[in-house]
Structure 1
């Protein structure tokens, strides 16, 4: 798996978990402030799409994952 693929898997996982923890109708509801984490991940995805730079991808590359295309 390449770093950009893993970034998307991690972001998708974080979004789904934070929605499960932040939506009052969810069986795993904890607090609505988890929705702020959803917004944070979305803002980072937007920023990385515009600037073509992603901190998570840089970190994963330092751990040895290949970048991919």
Structure 2
């Protein structure tokens, strides 16, 4: 699995988990502030799309993940 695939999987999981914890109708609802985490992940994805740099990808490569295309 390449570093880009891992980043996308983790980002997707973070978004789904934070939505489950932040939406009042969810059975896992904790607090609406979890939606701020969803926004944080989205902002990081947007930033990495413009700058072509992602901290998580850099860390994954240092841990031995293959570089994606």
TM-score (norm 2): 0.99
Structure 2 unaligned spans of 5+: none
Does the alignment pair 1:14 with 2:6?
no
Structure 1 unaligned spans of 5+: none
- How far residue 30 of structure 1 moved from its aligned partner, in angstroms, is 0.3
Supply the RMSD in Å over aligned alpha carbons: 0.4
What secondary structure, in the 3-state scheme, does the structure 2 residue paired with 1:13 have? helix
Q: Distance in 1 between matches of 2:65 and 2:51?
A: 21
The count of residues paired between Structure 1 and Structure 2 equals 69
Q: Distance in 1 between matches of 2:36 and 2:68?
A: 30
Q: Which residue does the alignment assign to 1:24?
A: 24
Instruction: Render the CA deviation track for 1:4-57: whole Å, top value 9, x for unaligned.
Output: 000000000000000000000000000000000000000000000000000000
TM-score (norm 1): 0.99
Q: Which residue does the alignment assign to 1:54?
A: 54
Q: Which residue does the alignment assign to 2:34?
A: 34
